[in-house]
Chains A and B, each alone.
Chain A
């Protein structure tokens, strides 16, 4: 319940952001630099969460940042899910050499952490929205491979698959029509949790300066800017951090709730 409320609010902010934000998120106003949020002293009317080093409205930047994070999170999840699920499906369905190659590849891939792959790609191609989505999408596939592979292998042995094979259905038809629908519930849960993971990874990359270049308002950028002004303006870093944990935990709660809803075993107690 809490999860879906936060998720709905975040989606609302992401879609309606430009109309909800009280100010232009990149509009600088050096007259009102580093003003604190409404509970502090020397506040400025209309800037509820204060301003940053360039006098930009923090609330507006946080709201617009939601849009980037959700956009990157969902697109990256879709890419990772498409690559990983296809490979997992193939490895689980055909087995044999396919399984050997794909699963060993997934094992070997563990030696290259997402963030390092992202760093190499950014070092070569530069940052930017498109590269960021590709980086996160391509590096997240191995999670799906493992999960889908395990599921497909267990479904593969069922009698109704055998029946489909006997009635002359093609491999692709069986995978798409008979096996994929069985694993959709799990995929939905995994994908929800992956969006949260992608958002965290995105903000980590932005924080390192490898995400969207400033002055784009992303939470990671704001945290990085806030880190340099912890003594005079701790609210910049802390408000962005708070926003990240709120949205990410909202998605995680939602995903865990979804898992319990879809899995009768978890619903009826351990």
Chain B
């Protein structure tokens, strides 16, 4: 178990290094930050001065090393728009995003696995047909439109829930549901398939032959074994969840990292964009690690292999 954890921990910095490398390449090779800082009317001397101040006259790999050293110290530069350090601006909004994403993630897993179990138990009956069809259609649903439909129905027509903002529990409902639907259909379909596959294994027949009740077979024999692909899926979906959070936040004016990123893109506020992308990637990597550990706890083959 310890060597497994160690191996997973080693992969984390590799992921983050890769993300930083890609972002660095895109930002540095193409856009000259000096022009953005100084504007078009700067003189050549001003440009040269700032360029050597920011160490942009060094070779690219040296610049990357400097960039990495800055990142390790938590220094992503100064926001052009807010005139403040970029990282604290992002971290300030991280709570809102994590709150939204965590609730949506839990909702998607609980509802998705629940509906998947229901569909598998009633396989080839009307309930299975309805759940599976909606799940397949849900994979084609643009979730941002679903968010808009929910606003129309529950906020504008019925007036039960607020359209946007953050603070009360009521304001959390629509964004969380919308974000959950980005990944929920996959959980339904994978749970259903996993259960149906495990249920055909001989050991299930053996349990039935020993006279175990159907409920006991499902919960004590089939489900623990079907959990593995579902947890794998959860790991794969973390990235999509965080991507969806950016869209969802902008639909519901949720004051999180996603909205900050979008606003910063329009202002070409690159330090904030880079810091925010890094923080979101860090969130994804940490969550993935937790998912891997959960899987290792459930599945001895991974733990020992």
Contact = CB atoms under 8 A, between A and B. Distances in A.
Interface of A: 104-105, 107-117, 119-125, 196, 200, 203-204, 207-210, 223, 226-227, 230-231, 234, 237-238, 240-241, 244-245, 248-249, 252, 256, 270
User: Considering residues A110, A200, A252, which has the most beta carbons from chain B within 10 angstroms of its beta carbon?
Assistant: A110
A245 B16 contact: no
Given A203-B142, A223-B148, 5 more contacts: A111-B15, A114-B243, A245-B141, A249-B140, A252-B136
A123 B270 contact: yes
A234 B140 CA distance: 21
Nearest to B139: A252
A248 B265 CA distance: 28
Given A108-B15, A110-B236, A125-B30, A119 B142 contact: no
Nearest to A219: B142
Contacts of A112: 18-19, 22, 239, 277, 281
B288 interface: yes
A14 to B, nearest CB: 18
Contacts of A105: 18
Contact of A237 (B145, B243, B244, B277): B145
A109 B281 CA distance: 10
A227 B152 CA distance: 10
A255 to B, nearest CB: 11
A234 B153 CA distance: 11
B242 interface: yes
Contacts of A204: 142, 144, 247
Contacts of B156: 230-231
B208 interface: no
B224 interface: no
Nearest to B262: A208
A116 B277 contact: yes
A204 to B, nearest CB: 5
Contacts of A241: 142, 145, 148-149
Interface of B: 11, 14-19, 22-23, 26-27, 30-31, 136-137, 139-142, 144-145, 148-149, 151-152, 156, 196, 236, 238-240, 242-244, 246-247, 250-251, 261-262, 264-266, 268, 270, 273-274, 277, 280-281, 284-285, 288
A230 B30 CA distance: 39
B145 A223 contact: yes
Given A107-B15, A207-B247, A209-B266, A230 B148 contact: yes
A116 B266 contact: no
A205 to B, nearest CB: 9
B26 A244 contact: no
Given A109-B18, A231-B156, A270-B196, A248 B281 contact: no
B22 A117 contact: yes
27 contacts: A108-B11, A108-B15, A112-B18, A112-B22, A113-B240, A113-B243, A115-B247, A117-B22, A119-B246, A119-B261, A121-B26, A124-B31, A209-B262, A210-B265, A223-B148, A226-B148, A230-B151, A234-B152, A237-B145, A238-B145, A238-B149, A241-B148, A244-B142, A245-B141, A245-B142, A248-B142, A270-B196
Contact of B251 (A113, A200, A227, A248): A227
A200 B277 contact: no
Nearest to A116: B277
A200 B246 CA distance: 15
Contacts of A121: 26
A16 to B, nearest CB: 24
A81 B213 CA distance: 48
Q: Which of A105, A116, A252 gathers the greatest number of chain B CB atoms within 10 Å?
A: A116
Nearest to A240: B145
A120 B284 contact: no
Nearest to A224: B144
A149 to B, nearest CB: 15
Given A108-B14, A111-B281, A120 B273 contact: yes
A120 B142 contact: no
Nearest to A252: B140
B70 to A, nearest CB: 18
A223 B144 contact: yes
